[in-house]
Every structure is written in structure tokens, then in C-alpha cells.
Amino acid sequence: MDRAGIVISHRITIGISACCMGSPVRYNSKGWDMLAGIGRERNDFKWCPVCPECMAGLGVPRDPIHLTGGDGSMVWRDEAEVKNRHGRLVTDDVKFGAQSCLETLKRAGADAFVYMDGSPSCGVYRTTLKSTKRGHPPGIFGSLLLDQGFFLIPAADLQSPLKWWDWRRRFLAFHWLKNLEITGKSGLYDAWTSLKFLFQELDNAWAVQMGRSLAGMAGKPEPAFIAGFKAQALDILRRPSTVRRITNSLWKNYSFFRKRLGKSVEGINTPDFQRNITTIAKELVTMERKALEDGVLFGTSPVIYREKRRLPSMEGPVETERQQDPPSVLS
């Protein structure tokens, strides 16, 4: 396959909770540089930091806020409220802050957002960090981003080389497909062919069904079919993979590479070989680089970002203690 069709050469903008980029904007004047986890790759993207609670005018430091009576989506429907520690109602302020941040992200052209989970504003799957409680997810801003179809990346996953690899390759495919104008049968087939190995890894049942529909398609596809394909495909690309599925895909693609070119790549292991997640991430990057050099599609990571020199280096990510036990599921 010609790789030139699926190279993204422009610099992509990604939104991020400002406190995850080191800004000391949390209620207690703290912040963390979560981007340190992806090393030099941070320079490949343009970042757009926003803080809904700051834009709400709540200031730093401030009383922590919490959702009361429901989740963030219910706040937008006026069925729940936001209060601070002293019981003062700040619902309208926080809604204003979230809307302002959304407008900023749209103005910046961002279609992905790195969020701080556990926040009543930016959280998506948790709105509290207390023990094992999840709070009332999603948060007020998280709910807006979900409604708007953003590709949402939890900041904590930037600390794991394998999780970040999985998020990055799915986001690049998402960004490419979202901005692709598909007008007819050949455009639809091209989009499908470019990403089908990734779809097979992420949702094989859907991929089989879609493959059959496309194979049996007679005549020009209806616009509704194309729109449905795109919406379903984008939704699948939002879902994290698993270590097992990734290592299987890596081996499948490597086997194809060996068969096609008759040469081996040093350091690529079979799916059942026991290694930690940092080693798996290194193998994936090695395979990405080799496939690109030799002009072979690496179907599990089909969209190349900013040319050969931009392929991620494994020097950047740092293995932390948390990463040493490989998780069985990446979500």
C-alpha cells in the first residue's frame, strides 16, 4: 500500500487540563507536568492548556467544588448543581468557565483533550479522588467534551509508554479519518483499507460485518451509510486496546513484514513471550520505524505523523514504579 496517503504532516493541536501541563491552577495552587511522561514527543504537538475553574473566575487558591444532585451532564440540564466547600452555589460560574474553555479549544482547532480525571470539572470517568469512589462522572467540562465528540485521553496514561503508544496511534487514525472527506465508493474503500487492521484489533465483530457490507455494496453508497461508517469507526478508535491484542497485532504485522520482504527485525518477540510494557512499547516503535523505512504498511499503527524523523524515540518516556507491572487491559 502507498503510505503517502496516510501521512499527517501538519502539527496537531491537543487541548489539555492546564494543571496537567504544570500550571499551578488547582484549588490548592498545585499542578503537575504530566507531559514529561512522553519525553520529546511533547514537541510534536501544539498544546492548548485550559482550566474551566479558572475561567469561571474562582481564582487560585480557591475552595474545592463538588457536584451535588447528579453528574456534569445533569448540570447542563439544570438537574444538578455545583457548590464549593462552604455550600456556596457556583453552578453558573463553572458553566461559563467550561463554555469559555470549549470555545478556546475550538478556536485552536483541537479535536482531542488530555484530561485530569477525578476533577468535578475536567473528569470523565471520576469526579473525585477520594478512595475508590467515582463521584458523579462525567464532570461539567468532561460532559461538554463528550457531547462534542472530542477524543479524550486520560493524563495518567501519559506516564505509561505502552498506553501512550496506544492512545497516540488511535488518535492519529481518529484525526485523519475525522478530517477526511469521503464522497464515494472509492473514498470509502480507501478509508476502510487504510484502517481495517486497526479496526480488526479493536472490534473484530464490527470489522467483519463492515467488511461484508462493503464487499457486497452495489452502486454508490448513500450519504447516510458513509456518515454511519465514519461515526462508528471514530467511536471504535476512541476505545483503548489491550496488551494481548496489541502483542498479537504486532506479531501478525511482523509476520507479514518477514514474508513480504524476507528479512527479520531484531528484538520483536512472540505474543506469549513474557516482557514488561516498556519492552513491548520499544518493539512497537522499532516495528513502526522498520515498516516505514521499507515502505510496508504497519497495519496496527497505520497513520504516520510528521514524517520519518518524527517517529517517536524511546529515549523520552521514563518508566515509573507504577508501570512495572504490566496491566492486562489498557483501559
List contacts with ligand SF4 (CB under 6 A).
Answer: 17-19, 25-26, 51-53, 116, 119, 121-122
Rounded Cα–Cα distance for residues 152 and 142 (Å):
9
Determine which helix (DSSP H) or strand (DSSP E) holds 35, and give its type and residue range.
none
Cβ nearer to ligand SF4, comparing 122 with 198? 122
- Supply the minimum distance, in Å, between the C-beta of residue 89 and ligand SF4: 17
Residue from 152, 137, 136, 121 nearest 331 by CA: 152
Cβ nearer to ligand SF4, comparing 28 with 204? 28
- Supply the minimum distance, in Å, between the C-beta of residue 190 and ligand SF4: 39
Q: Map grid coordinates 496517503 to a residue.
A: 5
In the three-class reduction of DSSP (H, G, I as helix; E, B as strand; rest coil), residue 164 is classed as helix
Rounded Cα–Cα distance for residues 293 and 290 (Å):
5
- Supply the minimum distance, in Å, between the C-beta of residue 41 and ligand SF4: 21
Helix axes 185-202, 223-237, angle to 10 degrees: 30
Which distant-in-sequence residues (6+ apart) come within 8 Å of 8 by Cβ?
172, 175, 176, 303, 304, 305, 306
- Supply the minimum distance, in Å, between the C-beta of residue 197 and ligand SF4: 36
Q: What is the DSSP letter of 221?
A: P
Burial of 171: CB neighbours in 10 Å, binned 0-12, 13-18, 19+: buried
Q: How many other CB atoms sit within 10 Å of the CB of residue 77?
A: 9
Which distant-in-sequence residues (6+ apart) come within 8 Å of 218 by Cβ?
none
Q: Strand ranges (DSSP E) for 18-163?
A: 46-50, 65-68, 81-84, 112-115, 151-154
**Helices assigned H by DSSP within the chain:** 52-55, 72-76, 91-108, 140-147, 161-178, 185-202, 204-215, 223-237, 243-261, 277-293
Side chain identity, residue 2:
D
Please state the φ and ψ torsions of residue 162, each to the nearest 5 degrees.
Answer: -75, -45
Cβ nearer to ligand SF4, comparing 17 with 278? 17
- Supply the minimum distance, in Å, between the C-beta of residue 91 and ligand SF4: 15
Cβ nearer to ligand SF4, comparing 52 with 221? 52
Cβ nearer to ligand SF4, comparing 16 with 284? 16
Cβ nearer to ligand SF4, comparing 54 with 285? 54
Cβ nearer to ligand SF4, comparing 47 with 206? 47
Cβ nearer to ligand SF4, comparing 108 with 261? 108
Q: What is the DSSP letter of 50?
A: E
